[in-house]
Amino acid sequence: MAYLVLARKWRPQNFTDLIGQDHVSQTLANAIRSGRIHHAFLFTGARGVGKTSAARILAKALNCEVGLSDQPCGTCTSCLEITAGHGLDVIEIDGASNTGVDDVRELRENIRYLPNRSRFKIFIIDEVHMLSTNAFNALLKTLEEPPEHAKFIFATTEPHKIPITILSRCQRFDFRKIPLARVAGRLREIADAEKLQISERSLSLVARQGEGSMRDALSTLDQVIAFSGDEVEDDAVQTLLGMVDRRLLLDTVEAVLQRDSRRALDAVRRVDQLGLALRQFTQDLLEMFRGMVICKVVDDPAEMLDLVGDELKGLKALAEEASLEDLQRIVTLLMKTQSELVNSNYPLLTLEMSLIRLATLSPSQDLAKLISHIESLEKRLGAASPPKAQSIPQRPAQEAPPPKKPEAPVAVTTANKGWQGLVEQVRQSRPMLGSVLEHGRPLKLELPTLEIGYPGGSFMISQLQEQEISQDLEALATAYFGQPVKLRITGLDASQQDAPPSLVETKQAKETDRMRRLREDAVGHPALKSVQEIFNGKIKKVIPIDKGFV
């Protein structure tokens, strides 16, 4: 007798056998018991999660000779034929190889005839999304007005490719990926039934290889049995599957958390010697640190992490060794490394440098502690006595700066700082507008009139002449001076040299005068003169280090 692979031998035969799809099993069982059975069903989900198996179970439940039941007998002729895949009234169609409109027309012709000996004629179309547009259009009429004896069950991994007109006429059931613990538990049942000696650790590796697919996990278990026989060793599973050893991953994680660069490099060396894929190793490492982040932020991480046995307990213990901020930085850097390995000419070096960087990251400090420290420093500085004002060196009379040109008078009030106070007030609420005012020349401040001058045709004139901005500025000035203010913007030409300087020009003039005096003081210093004479040097630049010097 030909060998029957585990995925077929242990295929679910009733709703209770559907692992990880309780929401589907319960809904379908309730519909059968109540007699509220729809004419078209759509089963969606990843590969190997039970879509086609559920379709066959539903077909057996509808056509069981014992009676319509959510628990088909499995022993009658109808059940046995459906299990074997050649039921007379259950037609299974591969949508990938029957995509044309002619195939659907043939199906529609078949639908017209009553079932041979069953209650319903059931059509199971796998990978239904592969049908052509014309085929879907041909099928639509049948779904709109189906005969009472016909039921349709569609299965697909890509429901987004199915026209909405078809989707709206089906009851949709989304099959989920099966949790790792459920897959491992089912594998243990099968291994015991097959009298297979295999450890929980190896079953966990096999289950993880399935990535949520029961069929893929059973296919992997078949491969392991073919390699090892009935007595499976952990090292054999590790070698066969080419998966990164858990101990090696833990060593690497501990090296990063303990800031041990030598140990991290040794882990990379072992990965290279074992011939493991560097990207897969990085991916597994990333998954471990992701799990640690989840352990930090979620009360019950088991709901989000596919871990079995003591793996979750060990991951929680590792997560306690690092702060959440450090773990987030590590995850970010590993994601960057994962993408860099794709096109790197030196992947081993890329991974080594990445792990060294991770192992030498400075620990992040708690933000609350930093803020507390800053506030403490501010209090101490505030309590300290103010520094004594530095005396400004006196210059000889002959070196006194030339007298400044008198500025035109500007009328100010005694209750505020006048023009400069207004500009400072505007900068607090409207920084951009305050910057424009800094470049303006206060031609007249005789309330209620405020006249500001700018070079003719400048951008700033056009800005302030806009009605909305002008009104905003008048409102701000009114609030500042405590009485209505009328704004006037004037364009200046080159001949108007007697206009008072802008705040920017005043600041630049002060800074220029300050630097001139600093240079004079530096050049005239006896020590600097001696250095120049000894080394025959020249002064190229004077940089102020006393910020309080004016």
**pLDDT classification of 459: cutoffs 50, 70, 90:** confident
pLDDT for the residue 514: 75
Question: Mapping DSSP to helix (H, G, I), strand (E, B) and coil, where does residue 259 land?
Answer: coil
Q: What stretch of H or E contains 206?
A: helix 200-210
For the segment 130-172, what is each residue's pLDDT rounded down to a tens digit?
888 888 888 888 888 888 899 999 999 999 999 999 999 999 9
**Is residue 414 scored above 50 in pLDDT?**
no
Q: Where are the domains of the chain?
A: 6-174, 180-241, 246-359, 409-500
CA distances from residue 190 to 2, 19, 209, 475 in whole angstroms, order as listed: 19, 13, 17, 82
Q: 319 or 540: which carries more pLDDT confidence?
A: 319
Distance of alpha carbon 51 from alpha carbon 21, whole angstroms? 10
Question: At 87, which amino acid appears?
Answer: G
Q: Angle formed by the axes of helices 51-63 and 22-34, to 10°? A: 20
pLDDT for 393 equals 47
pLDDT in tens, 176-194: 999 888 898 999 999 999 9
Query: Is residue 409 pLDDT above 70, yes or no?
Result: no
Which residue do the tokens 């913007």 mark? 489
Pairing of strands 121-126, 449-455: unpaired
- Reported as a single tens digit per residue, the pLDDT across 67-96 is 888 889 888 999 998 988 888 889 888 887
Q: Is residue 396 scored above 70 in pLDDT? A: no
Q: Among 323-337, 445-459, 526-540, whose mean pLDDT is lowest?
A: 526-540
CATH 3.40.50.2000 fits 409-500, yes or no: no
Q: Binning pLDDT at 50, 70 and 90, where does residue 415 land?
A: very low
pLDDT average, residue stretch 209-226: 90
Does the pLDDT at position 385 exceed 50? no
Residue type, 78: S
Contact 156, 122 (CB under 8 A): no
Instruction: Name which of 128-132, 302-306, 471-475, 490-494 the model is least confident about.
Output: 302-306
Average pLDDT over residues 417-443: 84
- 123 sits in which H/E element: strand 121-126
Start-to-end Cα distance in the chain = 102
| pLDDT mean across residues, the chain | 81
Asked if the 180-241 domain carries CATH number 3.30.1330.200, the reply is no
* CATH class of the domain whose range is 6-174: alpha beta
Helix-helix angle 214-228:180-193, to 10 degrees: 40
* Token pair of 189 as six digits: 């049942």
Residue 261 tokens read as 């660069």
What is the CATH class of 246-359? mainly alpha
Could you tell me whether strands 90-94 and 121-126 are parallel, antiparallel, or unpaired per DSSP bridges? parallel
Position 375 confidence tier, pLDDT thresholds 50, 70, 90: low
